[in-house]
């Protein structure tokens, strides 16, 4: 969509957007994620490799983020692999279960069960603290990746967006608003997108999914000197606030979703998710909502700047992932199970032919 066309459409009278059937609004509660209540979940990932051709290997993402909002409880696995072990990429520490099968195994199967607990996140913008982070670590999170350069058109775009903004909060707010105003959810994109932000800016094609939109948000922040990172994971439960598009049912095979964090002085690592704002605008109601002031969108737009709902599992924060033991291409990010057989990498975005399933259930105390 052309940027000018998008902005012109978004500026249409709000009364048109508000003309939705009452049932479309009644299902929503005030969107207000609030930390303090921990919930425990169990996520089961089962991979079966059909038509195995020898040399079969599988990699399954394992929760490797332990933070104030998420704690790993345990991981257990079963299957008919001849060797299984936890491995991690060297740069980011993204953990995964690696399973290697005998050459004559024609029905490889491996199942991973991960248990963890999580809670909502929210930032009190009226309370600044002495949030500290190692300077070398912060510098690391302003660096470029293969699909996320911080020079050229990315840097010039970030400079334009943040012109006149002095603090890191002001810069991030400006970038967040720009992302919401200029990008849009494109349902036809496979998986979570690719995250090639240079191509997005050069072509002016700002349609995508979370892997594209939140990557652009992170890259622009980095180019503006604000440490930022993508957090890759999967939705594990319905939204407590009635938002269909911000939750998932028990079968979560296609519920992968990445979020973002920025490091802001006085606040530390702060949760962000402009991509989910776009998802609500495009898909939450029968009508494509193009005004952030719409009552369905407004609270999400406000609260996802500084928070997110804890119905989601964070796997890792890794880019350009080389699968340990594989000679195949690196992955832009790791959210989906991966497999190789007969020397060929399988299509991780086609769980029907690849034959994997992911389910989740909440663990009651």
Statement to judge: residues 208 and 74 lie in one domain: no
Average pLDDT over residues 88-102: 96
Residue 20 reports pLDDT greater than 70: no
Predicted local confidence at residue 7, as pLDDT:
32
134 or 13: whose pLDDT is higher?
A: 134
Statement to judge: residues 110 and 205 lie in one domain: no
Statement to judge: residues 216 and 300 lie in one domain: yes
Residue 17 reports pLDDT greater than 80: no
Statement to judge: residues 299 and 322 lie in one domain: no
Statement to judge: residues 160 and 266 lie in one domain: yes
Domain harbouring 19, CATH code: 3.10.620.30
Statement to judge: residues 234 and 144 lie in one domain: yes
Residue 9 reports pLDDT greater than 80: no
Predicted local confidence at residue 133, as pLDDT:
87
Statement to judge: residues 50 and 93 lie in one domain: yes
Q: What is the pLDDT of residues 175-234, one digit of tens each?
A: 999 999 999 999 999 999 999 999 999 999 999 999 999 999 999 999 999 999 999 999
263 or 19: whose pLDDT is higher?
A: 263
- In the DSSP assignment, the letter for residue 246 is G
Give residue for tokens 């993402």.
61
Looking only at the bridges linking them, the beta strands covering 344-345 and 70-79 are unpaired
Cα–Cα distance for residue pair 229/314, rounded to 1 Å: 13
Statement to judge: residues 280 and 343 lie in one domain: no
Q: What is the pLDDT of residues 279-325, one digit of tens each?
A: 999 999 999 999 999 999 999 999 999 999 999 999 999 999 999 99
Task: List alpha helices for the chain, DSSP H.
Answer: 3-10, 14-17, 22-26, 135-140, 152-161, 168-182, 197-203, 210-223, 274-283, 298-303, 351-354
Total number of domains constituting the chain:
2
Cα–Cα distance for residue pair 201/151, rounded to 1 Å: 12
Neighbours of 185 (CB within 10 A): 22
Q: Single out the residue of 219, 67, 216, 222 nearest to residue 139, CA to CA.
A: 222
Burial (Cβ within 10 Å: 0-12, 13-18, ≥19) of residue 165: middle
Statement to judge: residues 137 and 189 lie in one domain: yes
Domain harbouring 88, CATH code: 2.60.40.2250
Q: What is the pLDDT of residues 53-62, one digit of tens each?
A: 989 999 999 9
Which structural domain, as residue segments, surrounds residue 62? 39-118+318-363
Q: For all residues of the chain together, what is the average pLDDT?
A: 92
Statement to judge: residues 246 and 182 lie in one domain: yes
Statement to judge: residues 108 and 162 lie in one domain: no
337, 348 contact by CB (below 8 A): yes
263 or 327: whose pLDDT is higher?
A: 263
Predicted local confidence at residue 50, as pLDDT:
86
pTM of the prediction?
Answer: 0.91
Give counts: helices (H), strands (E), the chain.
Answer: 11, 15
Cα–Cα distance for residue pair 176/248, rounded to 1 Å: 25
Measured CA to CA in angstroms, residue 41 lies from 31, 206, 311, 354 at distances of 22, 34, 9, 25
Predicted local confidence at residue 350, as pLDDT:
87
Statement to judge: residues 196 and 267 lie in one domain: yes
Residue 219 three-state SS = helix
């Amino acid at each position: 969509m052309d940027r000018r066309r998008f902005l012109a459409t978004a500026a249409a009278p709000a009364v048109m957007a508000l003309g939705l059937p009452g049932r479309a609004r009644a299902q929503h509660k005030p969107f207000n994620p609030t930390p303090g209540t921990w919930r425990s979940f169990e996520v089961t990932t089962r991979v079966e490799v059909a038509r195995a051709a020898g040399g079969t290997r599988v990699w399954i993402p394992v929760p490797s983020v332990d933070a104030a909002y998420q704690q790993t409880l345990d991981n257990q696995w079963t299957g008919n692999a001849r060797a299984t072990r936890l491995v991690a990429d060297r740069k980011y520490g993204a953990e995964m279960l690696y399973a290697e099968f005998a050459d004559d195994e024609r029905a490889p199967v491996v199942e991973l069960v991960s248990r963890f607990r999580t809670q909502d996140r929210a930032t009190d913008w009226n309370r600044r603290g002495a949030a500290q982070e190692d300077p070398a670590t912060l510098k690391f999170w302003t660096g470029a990746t293969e699909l996320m350069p911080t020079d050229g058109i990315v840097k010039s775009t970030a400079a334009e967006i943040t012109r006149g903004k002095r603090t890191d909060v002001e810069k991030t707010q400006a970038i967040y608003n720009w992302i919401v105003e200029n990008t849009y959810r494109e349902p036809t994109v496979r998986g979570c997108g690719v995250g090639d932000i240079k191509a997005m800016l050069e072509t002016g094609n700002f349609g995508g999914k979370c892997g594209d939109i939140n990557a652009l948000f992170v890259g622009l922040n980095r180019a503006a000197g604000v440490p930022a990172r993508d957090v890759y994971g999967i939705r594990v439960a319905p939204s407590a606030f009635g938002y269909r598009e911000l939750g998932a049912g028990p079968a979560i095979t296609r519920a992968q979703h990445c979020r973002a964090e920025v490091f802001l002085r006085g606040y530390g690592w702060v949760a962000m998710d402009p991509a989910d704002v776009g998802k609500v605008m495009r898909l939450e109601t029968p009508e494509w909502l193009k005004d952030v002031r719409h009552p369905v969108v407004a609270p999400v737009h406000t609260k996802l700047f500084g928070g997110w709902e804890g119905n989601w599992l964070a796997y890792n924060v890794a880019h350009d992932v080389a699968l340990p033991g594989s000679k195949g291409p690196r992955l832009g990010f790791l959210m989906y199970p991966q497999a190789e057989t007969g020397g060929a990498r399988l299509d991780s975005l086609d769980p029907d032919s690849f034959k994997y399933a992911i389910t989740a259930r909440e663990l009651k105390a």
